[in-house]
């Protein structure tokens, strides 16, 4: 069973609706074959310049719990009603975006944008601040931003939650995969997962190839 299926029944109806809309809109995007390339640093877009935070918030690389030197990052942005020109003006210009709408580009309809990059630990230092600023911008358009960071090794995610001062509220174990969902002040607005308010989920899978760990904000949106 995929962890996205496990959490399906726990999520707030609004988030479930967004998951269904995004799933339908992203079918034709060849995400698995997207080219990953180093990002110059932080997130920036027209009218939006995001600097690295003064106090570094460690994500997967910054926590230094493994040997990974790079992480794969995916950002998914969803707007309920916007045209492509408006969306492009809001999105960070130095990230490669795949954009899909439910109607023609000239029609103000729901729109999703997906970007994938590979980053270093130094570049990761500005990622959280960039995510939070982009989320605030998109919220003004009633949109939602999802962030995923993935490293190709299994990490001790209980230790990660402790080191990052995240309050764990939900645990799950399926086979070799562990998931912990929690809440931390400064990690963005929470969503409801059952009776709990959460804004970060970390999953880790151990296997013969070294495993895989994924951090998602506010919760897992794609398969793991």
Query: What's the pLDDT tens digit per position in 51-92?
Result: 444 445 789 999 999 999 999 999 999 999 998 999 999 999
Give me the numbers of helices (H) and strands (E) for the chain, helices first please.
Answer: 6, 12
| 78, 21 contact by CB (below 8 A) | yes
Residue 203 in any domain: the answer is: yes
Give the separation between CA 99 and CA 111, rounded to whole angstroms.
7
pLDDT exceeds cutoff 70 at 34: no
Residue 223 in any domain: the answer is: no
Give the separation between CA 173 and CA 25, rounded to whole angstroms.
30
Q: How many folded domains does the chain comprise? A: 1
Give the separation between CA 179 and CA 204, rounded to whole angstroms.
7
| 47, 86 contact by CB (below 8 A) | no
Which of 117, 127, 118, 115 has the alpha carbon at shortest distance from 62? Answer: 127
Give the separation between CA 169 and CA 181, rounded to whole angstroms.
6
- Using a 10 angstrom Cβ sphere, with 0-12 exposed, 13-18 middle and 19 or more buried, the burial of residue 95 is buried
Q: Which residue carries 């398969």 as its tokens? A: 223
Looking at residue 221, its pLDDT comes to: 83
* Angle made by CA atoms 195, 15, 53, in degrees to the nearest 5: 90
Cα-Cα-Cα-Cα dihedral of 155, 159, 160, 162, to 10°?
A: 170
Residue 100 in any domain: the answer is: yes
Mean pLDDT, rounded, for 103-129 = 88
| 3, 177 contact by CB (below 8 A) | yes
Query: Containing domain of residue 81, as a range?
Result: 3-217
Q: What percent of the chain has pLDDT over 70?
A: 71
The pTM (predicted TM-score) of the whole model is: 0.76
Task: Express each pLDDT in 122-175 by its tens digit.
Answer: 999 999 999 999 999 999 999 999 999 999 999 999 999 999 999 999 999 999
Residue 224 in any domain: the answer is: no
């Amino acid at each position: 069973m995929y962890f996205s299926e496990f959490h399906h029944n726990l999520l707030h109806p609004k988030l479930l609706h967004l998951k269904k809309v995004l799933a339908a809109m992203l079918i034709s995007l060849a995400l698995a074959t997207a080219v990953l390339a180093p990002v110059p640093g932080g997130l920036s877009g027209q009218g939006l310049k995001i600097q690295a935070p003064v106090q570094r918030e460690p994500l997967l690389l910054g926590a230094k719990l493994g040997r990974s030197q790079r992480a794969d990052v995916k950002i998914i942005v969803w707007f309920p009603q916007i045209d492509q020109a408006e969306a492009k003006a809001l999105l960070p210009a130095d990230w490669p975006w795949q954009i899909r709408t439910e109607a023609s580009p000239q029609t103000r309809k729901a729109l999703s944008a997906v970007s994938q990059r590979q980053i270093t630990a130094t570049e990761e230092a500005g990622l959280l601040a960039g995510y939070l600023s982009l989320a605030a911008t998109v919220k003004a358009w009633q949109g939602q931003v999802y962030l995923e960071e993935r490293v190709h090794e299994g990490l001790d995610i209980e230790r990660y939650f402790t080191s990052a001062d995240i309050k764990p509220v939900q645990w799950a174990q399926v086979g070799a995969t562990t998931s912990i969902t929690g809440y931390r002040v400064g990690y963005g607005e929470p969503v409801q997962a059952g009776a709990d308010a959460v804004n970060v989920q970390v999953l880790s899978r151990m296997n013969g190839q070294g495993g895989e760990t994924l951090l998602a904000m506010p919760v897992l949106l794609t398969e793991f």
